[in-house]
Structure 1
Amino acid sequence: MVRRRTLLGGVAASGLLLGFGAIPARASLLPVRTCADWGARPPSSPTTVLRQRPVRILVHHTATENVTDYSEAHAYAHARWIQDHHMDDNGWLDSGQHFTNSRGGFLMEGRHGSLDALHAGDRIVEGAHCPGQNSIAIGIENEGLYTTEEPRPDQWDSLVSFCVYTCEQYGIAPTEIDGHRDHYADTQCPGDKLYAALPRLRQEVARVLG
């Protein structure tokens, strides 16, 4: 319970107990680490901020090793690796996803400006996580490969917490939490196990939101 309360930070203070807990009066601040916190490079060109609310959340997995290092230091290093891959190999201006959720349950801003936009609740930074969805869907990467195993409890709890806050901020219905493969045929993301858990994710988010 100590780990969960540490993870939730300000959200727990507002009455939110994740996953199987009580319904809050209102989801509050999330402990999302900023790009500056994890040492992100600056974007190669300015990001595009759209004055519109996203209509859904897209859940991804990074399809990387299911490591047993659950530390904050590893989470930060992995975020830097993703950004380097997206910028140097894919030629994108920044990390493609809006947010990242590590194996240890550390939530991090992905593309610069995404956290400020989320807190404002009235805008979205255009991403690069799914063709046709980058200006209307919030993309969250979950570190790991979830074809044959499910996310760890800490990672699952932080995903629920993130979705609760994001749905509330943007007025997104829990039914609009989808997998990457729902909107892009040429992928198995977020893996069969995590994809099969999405109905439970929607239910848990809906229960917390009441």
Structure 2
Amino acid sequence: MPAITRRSFLSAGSGIALAVLSGARAEAGVAGTAADGPSRPRIRTRDEWDAVAPKSKAIVLDTPPDRIVIHHTATANTTDLSLDAAYRLSRAIQRYHMRHNRWADIGEQLTVSRGGHIMEGRNRTLPAISRGGNVVGAQAAGHNRHTLGIETEGTYTAELPPPAQLASLTTLLAWLCSTYRLDPEVAIIGHRDLNKTACPGDRFYAYLPELRAGVARKLGRRRPPEDEPPDGEPPDPDETDDAPEDR
């Protein structure tokens, strides 16, 4: 598995608005969704991809994220779309984050492989989501207490993720937006919207409006007018020591 590399470029922009927490949630390990929302997609747990034990347990927040941050791993665009390849990817990311970055665990909350396999990332993520909360990750420096990060395997500076990956990502985002009562037009952002980075790649970043629209369609929502004003003012982000280097 190639090393996970990071490449920094100047970019800016960030808009933050707090989401409203939905009502009662299911027990740990069971999806928490709006009554009429999409069900949880198949998410492979840390036990399934054989994660090593974290150096410390993730901090669990009772508050939901207000932004879902899309990343790319900046690794090779492999043609191996198998589940085994997806498991190897998660193990490779975790090794890199824990050994090279010296973090307590894998940084992101969720990962989507090029084959469309969805995997739990940071420890305690799925139980936290099932209760309408989140865990503090290490995927968006200065913004880890109010965001949830999704890694998409590959490098998308000049091409888009393959169809299976985009389909799984769209389904995952629809479930998360339903669970957290988030507006996909506002909540789904790219890593470069928060930090100085090229992530998630120029081609993929340009596709985000279409991704948001696809999620909105799954939720049965129409796309708002182009001139609709943004909702709310950005809060002061909480800092965390467990923050990533730029990619």
Give the aligned partner of residue 21 of structure 1: none
Distance 1:98 1:25 in 2: 24
Distance 1:120 1:209 in 2: 20
Distance 1:43 1:172 in 2: 30
TM-score (norm 1): 0.86
Give the aligned partner of residue 151 of structure 1: 161
Distance 1:166 1:207 in 2: 14
Of residues 189, 197, 200, the one that matches 2:207 is 197
Of residues 97, 114, 117, the one that matches 1:103 is 114
Give the aligned partner of residue 242 of structure 2: none
Give the aligned partner of residue 183 of structure 1: 194
Of residues 41, 44, 47, the one that matches 2:58 is 47
Residue identity matched to 1:182: D
Q: Percent of counterpart pairs with the same letter? A: 46
The offset of 1:57, in angstroms, is: 0.4
Of residues 39, 47, 63, the one that matches 1:36 is 47
1:56-106 CA deviation, whole Å, 9 max, x = no partner? Answer: 100000000000000000100110000000000001000000000000000
Residue identity matched to 1:128: A
1:36-115 equivalences under 5 Å are 36-115=47-126
The offset of 1:135, in angstroms, is: 1.1
Q: Which sits farther off after the overlay, 41-50 or 71-80?
A: 41-50
- Gap runs ≥5 in structure 2: 1-34, 221-247
Count how many residue pairs are aligned between Structure 1 and Structure 2. 185
8 A contact 2:40–2:172 mirrored in 1: no
TM-score (norm 2): 0.73
Give the aligned partner of residue 134 of structure 1: 144
1:155-174 equivalences under 5 Å are 155-174=165-184
1:155-184 CA deviation, whole Å, 9 max, x = no partner? Answer: 000000010000011111102100000000
The offset of 1:51, in angstroms, is: 1.1
Regions of 4+ moved over 3 Å: none
SS in 2 for 1:100: strand
The offset of 1:29, in angstroms, is: 2.4
Give the aligned partner of residue 5 of structure 2: none
Residue identity matched to 1:94: D
Residue identity matched to 1:27: P
**Higher relative helix content:** 1
Distance 1:68 1:184 in 2: 30
8 A contact 2:114–2:161 mirrored in 1: yes
Residue identity matched to 1:151: P
Structure with greater Cα Rg: 2
Residue identity matched to 1:91: R
Distance 1:29 1:181 in 2: 27
The offset of 1:115, in angstroms, is: 1.3
Residue identity matched to 1:95: I
Distance 1:177 1:26 in 2: 17
1:1-12 equivalences under 5 Å are none
Give the number of the structure with larger relative contact order, counting CA–CA contacts within 8 Å between residues 6 or more apart: 2
